[in-house]
Every structure is written in C-alpha cells, then in structure tokens.
Amino acid sequence: MAARAHLRRKFLSAKVAVSGANFGVAETGTLAVVESEGNGRMCLTLPDTLITLMGIEKLVPTFTDLEVFMQLLPRSSTAERMNPYTSMWTGVYPGDGPQNFHVVLLDNGRTNVLADEVGRSALHCIRCSACLNVCPVYERTGGHAYGSVYPGPIGAILSPQLTGTTDHDDPNASLPFASTLCGACFDACPVRIDIPGILVHLRAKQIDSERHGLPTGQDLAMKAAGWAMGSERRFAAAEKASKIGRVLGGATGRISSLPYPGSAWTSSRDLPSPPKETFRQWWARTHAGTER
Ligand code: SF4
C-alpha cells in the first residue's frame, strides 16, 4: 500500500512518460504493452506526453498477426489464457490519454544480428521467459549473473550479438559458453528459436575471432587428442602416461596446479586424478579371453 500511494502520486504528477512496447503493428500504427500489475497502463495513459522506445524486431505486419502473439505470449509466459493488463494505442485521441506521442524505433545492434543468417532467429523472441524457467544454468545462477538486461538462454544468444563483442574477457562474449547445451530451452520456446544451435554457432565465431589465422591452444589440444585416439597403441601409451597425474593429485585425489599450458585450466578449476585402473585395464582383468 505504501508503494502504491507513493507511485500513484508520481504517476498523477508526471508530465512525460517513457515506455517500451511488446509489439507494434505496421498496418495500423498500433502499439501494445502487455503487463501484469497495471503500472505500465498508468504510465501509458496519465502523462501528457508519451515517448515509446521499441526495438525494430517488435514490429508485426498486421493486426491479425498481433492476435496470434497475444495468445502465445501469456500462455507461454505465465500459463494464463489471457494477460491481466493489455494496453493498445494508436496515436493520440483528443481529451483522452497522452496528447503528444513519440515513438523511437531502436536498432542498437539489431541489424547486425539480422545480417547473421544463423543468429538472426534470436530476433523472433517475444520475451515470454519460458526458456528461462526450464534452464538449469539460469535456475542456479539467477538473472544478474548474465550481466545484461536479457538473462537466461535468450540473453546468452542475444546480448553477445547485440553488442557484437568478441573480447573473450567481456561477460557478453563468454555467455554462449555458459551452457550445457541440454536443449530444454529449444523444447520450451513457443517461436522455436534453436537456442542450442545458435550457442554453438556463436562459440565457433568466437573461437574463429581469437584464431587470427593461427591454431589456438584448444585446436592443438584437440589435434593431439585425435592423434592419440587414432591408434590403439598410442592410446594405451597415453593412458600409461596419465598415471603421472596420480602423483600430482597426491592424497587429495584432485589436481589443482599444472605448469603451462595446463595452468590455463587449473587457474580456475581443478580436475580429478586419473583412476588407479583404466576401463581397458579393468576389462582385460575381468574379461580375460573375450574380445574387446
Ligand atoms: S527465446 Fe523463446 S522461450 Fe525464450 S523468451 Fe524468447 S520466445 Fe520465450
């Protein structure tokens, strides 16, 4: 009640309001805001002047298209058949609501996203948050961990694309790597954005940008692993060599410090010591005489 009394005074005395919009209709010039509390409606209707900032991807061609999203959004977001407060306005109406209206269509990196044939489907997002609700990473880290206004799986593909950053130390650039690629977001998304596919695409772009035409540490590690796994003899030798790791792990059974280049891993994570017996050794011991 205290918040309501405080905010009501503010709403009634404000001359200018700034809002966003969930959708804009190109055919009629109508804008729509979908919300649950009614504060948005007071912002949209009480001040004399309304300024609406809307991302260019929010435009739908016709009013009939808007009808589809008006059903899809609340059902995917809060499982309601209809949204509590849906406000729509088309310009100004004398004597009712704001008498001055300005709409700002915001690009802010969106045309760059559009230029990427794989990543562009992120712009189909209707911000229902269904992908957030099913994401195991979001569930454990919460929204602030994403460091941008778009949290969760959609934020992990949209934020780095909007900022166009490839600096790996930038939290936005590292977001595509903070995923298990479990695919729960893709299953939940009502507009079928292939979030895991775009995450992999953005990872590849990021790695390419770091290569500068030269192989990275990861490239070399993968090449070495491929070479070792390409022959049974080499693989057995690599297994034997891994026993050294048991010495490094000591009594704790965790390796927490390695010389370069292994230090790139152990500077922020540890890893378990190799087991006493490998799977192949166990198999040879327990299945003597049978084929591998
Ligand atoms: S990506 Fe899909 S599920 Fe996630 S918020 Fe956007 S529309 Fe909803």
Asked if pLDDT for residue 104 goes beyond 60, the answer is: yes
Ligand 1 site, residue 125, Cβ cutoff 6 A: yes
For the segment 163-212, what is each residue's pLDDT rounded down to a tens digit?
887 776 677 888 999 999 999 999 999 999 999 999 999 999 888 887 77
Whole-number Å distance, alpha carbon 155 to ligand 1 midpoint, is 10
Asked if pLDDT for residue 292 goes beyond 60, the answer is: no
Q: Are 92 and 100 in contact (CB under 8 A)?
A: yes
Ligand 1 site, residue 113, Cβ cutoff 6 A: no
Of 219, 197, 198, residue with least CA distance to 208: 219
Asked if pLDDT for residue 137 goes beyond 80, the answer is: yes
Token pair recorded at residue 5: 């009394």
Mean pLDDT, to the nearest integer, of 139-153?
A: 90
DSSP 58: G
Side-chain-side CA neighbours of residue 53 (13 Å): 6
**pLDDT at res. 234:** 94
3-class state of residue 215 by DSSP: coil
Mean pLDDT, to the nearest integer, of 56-60?
A: 97
Whole-number Å distance, alpha carbon 124 to ligand 1 midpoint, is 8
Each as own residue / partner, the long-range contacts of residues 281-285 (CB below 8 Å, 24 or more positions apart, any chain) are 281/239
**High-pLDDT (> 90) share of the chain, %:** 67
**pLDDT at res. 147:** 84
Which atom, in ligand 1's list, is nearest to the CA of 130?
3
Q: Which CATH superfamily is domain 110-211 in?
A: Alpha-helical ferredoxin (1.10.1060.10)
CATH number of 11-106: 3.40.50.10420
For the chain, the structural domain boundaries read 11-106, 110-211, 217-286
**pLDDT at res. 235:** 92
Instruction: Please indicate whether the domains covering 11-106 and 110-211 agree at the CATH topology level.
Output: no
User: What pLDDT band is residue 96 in, cutting at 50, 70 and 90?
Assistant: very high
For the segment 246-273, what is each residue's pLDDT rounded down to a tens digit?
888 888 889 988 888 788 888 888 889 9
Which atom, in ligand 1's list, is nearest to the CA of 127?
5
Cα(49)–Cα(47) distance, integer angstroms: 6
Give helix 232-241 / helix 217-229 axis angle, nearest 10°: 120
Cα(25)–Cα(61) distance, integer angstroms: 6
Whole-number Å distance, alpha carbon 184 to ligand 1 midpoint, is 11
Mean pLDDT, to the nearest integer, of 111-133?
A: 96
Cα(235)–Cα(279) distance, integer angstroms: 12
Mean pLDDT, to the nearest integer, of 34-45?
A: 93
Q: Which contiguous run of DSSP H or E holds residue 104? A: strand 100-106
Q: CA-based angle 107:108:114, to the nearest 5? A: 60
173: left (phi over 0), alpha (psi -120 to 50) or beta: alpha
Mean pLDDT, to the nearest integer, of 37-60?
A: 95
Which atom, in ligand 1's list, is nearest to the CA of 77?
8
Mean pLDDT, to the nearest integer, of 113-140?
A: 96
Token pair recorded at residue 3: 């918040």
Buried b (16+ CB within 10 A) or exposed e, 75-94: bbbeeeeebeebbbbeeeee
Average pLDDT, the chain: 91
**pLDDT at res. 21:** 97
CA distances from 49 to 12, 46, 90, 110 (A): 13, 9, 14, 27
Cα(273)–Cα(63) distance, integer angstroms: 62
Which atom, in ligand 1's list, is nearest to the CA of 128?
8
Please give the single-letter amino acid code of residue 92: V
Whole-number Å distance, alpha carbon 21 to ligand 1 midpoint, is 16
Q: Residue by residue, what is the 3-state secondary structure of 139-195?
A: HHHCHHHHCCCCCHHHHHHHHHHHHCCCCCCCHHHHHHHCCCCCCHHHHHCCCCCCH
Of 33-37, 103-107, 218-222, 272-276, the least confident? 218-222
